[in-house]
Structure 1
Amino acid sequence: MALRSTVYKADIHVADNDRAYYGSHAVTVARHPSETDERLMVRLLAFSLHADEEDRLAFTRGLSEVDEPDLWRLDLTGAVKLWVETGLPDERRLLKACGRADQVVVYAYGRNADGWWAGVKNKLSRARNLTVYGLPVQATQDLAALAARSMSLNVNVQDGTAWVTADSGEASVEVLLWREAE
């Protein structure tokens, strides 16, 4: 019998001083059985860093669907405006995404993130609409410790650092720019 996804609900209150965006969002996220708390919380952080007034940013089926990112923003015609990946995606997948979306953003995390980036950055040099961020290992592990089935997260962003607080604690995540879209 196949394992089912676990549903997580989060009230996210964003104060992003870098983008001058301040808003609250109630989101429901399905956590795939093979997904870790760390990946779930990185997805929620990515949502917080791209949330806006239009409220068109959406979680996709993620791991269950190979042709969809973790998050995306579609316009009214269904065209992909923003494609957001978390983890260490394959460079072919990213190049394909760059052809489908106006903007592609990757949040690389984990012990192997630096090695992954060293191995793919030259292959991705022609992708003009690609931005890549690195997240420190300890910071994403601290973020994972905040995971709960029902949570209220306050995300304050300033000078490239996100401070995330929840009832169970807090985490400070420096979002390191590795490559900026042209």
Structure 2
Amino acid sequence: MALKATIFKANLQLSDMDRGVYGEHALTIARHPSENDERMMLRVLAFALNVPADDHKGKLDFAKSLWDTDEPDLWQLDLTGQLLHWIDVGQPDDRRLMKAHGRADRVSVYSANSSTPIWWSGIESKLTRAPRLAIWQIEAEQSQALAALAERSMQLQVSVQDGTVYLSTEKGSVEITPKALKLPS
């Protein structure tokens, strides 16, 4: 018998002063049996850092990347179904990123492994033709502290100011400073 996804609920209160985005979001997150808390919470962090101010151009949703390799971890589709933003968590290969770059207006990757610099140095030169690609590194200690906050039902307060993310729950808080390895040109 196949294992089923575990459902997590999060009420995310966002104050992103860097982008001028504020709001409350009720998230339902399906955690694949092969996914750990760290990766799931990185998806939540990526949502908070990329959610648009309004849904006029479509909303940001969790996709089925672990079930369907043709989908990202998160995506924003406009009202016509056009892919606006492709977001992956982890260390995708250069072929996947170039394919995503051809399909979406923007592509973002959030990597939180201690081997991120090695992964990035191996594919950086292959992505020079991807001007709409952003690569972000989250320090492993910060992502592990983020994972420790995971619960089946969460109240998350997220503040973003001067490039630093402050995330807190009833269990505690963590400060995360994403490091840009590549920004869109």
TM bucket normalised to smaller: over 0.9
Q: Partner of 1:27 in structure 2?
A: 27
Q: Partner of 2:95 in structure 1?
A: 92
The Cα shift of 1:160 comes to 1.1
Q: Partner of 1:7 in structure 2?
A: 7
Q: Whole-Å Cα distance in 2 between the matches of residues 14 and 37 of structure 1?
A: 21
The Cα shift of 1:91 comes to 0.9
Q: Whole-Å Cα distance in 2 between the matches of residues 127 and 31 of structure 1?
A: 30
User: More displaced, 65-74 or 48-57?
Assistant: 48-57
Runs of 4+ aligned residues of structure 1 deviating over 2 Å after TM superposition are: 52-55
Aligned residue identity for 1:176:
K
Q: Secondary structure at the match of 2:118?
A: helix
Q: Secondary structure at the match of 2:91?
A: coil
Percent identity (aligned): 47
Q: Secondary structure at the match of 2:18?
A: coil
Q: Partner of 1:64 in structure 2?
A: 67
Q: Whole-Å Cα distance in 2 between the matches of residues 76 and 152 of structure 1?
A: 29
Aligned residue identity for 1:76:
L
Task: Indicate yes or no: 2:89 matched with 1:125.
Answer: no
Q: Secondary structure at the match of 1:146?
A: coil
The Cα shift of 1:68 comes to 0.5
Q: Whole-Å Cα distance in 2 between the matches of residues 80 and 165 of structure 1?
A: 31
Q: Secondary structure at the match of 1:85?
A: strand
Q: Partner of 2:167 in structure 1?
A: 164
Aligned residue identity for 2:47:
F
Q: Whole-Å Cα distance in 2 between the matches of residues 117 and 45 of structure 1?
A: 20
Mapped contact 1:23–1:52 kept (Cα < 8 A):
no
The Cα shift of 1:24 comes to 0.6
Q: Which one of the candidate residues 78, 81, 100 is aligned to 2:81?
A: 78
Aligned length: 182
Q: Partner of 1:43 in structure 2?
A: 43
Q: Secondary structure at the match of 1:181?
A: coil
Q: Secondary structure at the match of 1:157?
A: strand
The Cα shift of 1:54 comes to 2.5
Q: Whole-Å Cα distance in 2 between the matches of residues 111 and 2 of structure 1?
A: 31
Q: Secondary structure at the match of 2:176?
A: strand
Q: Partner of 1:135 in structure 2?
A: 138
User: More displaced, 2-11 or 50-59?
Assistant: 50-59
Q: Whole-Å Cα distance in 1 between the matches of residues 125 and 53 of structure 2?
A: 35
Q: Whole-Å Cα distance in 1 between the matches of residues 88 and 54 of structure 2?
A: 20
The Cα shift of 1:109 comes to 1.1
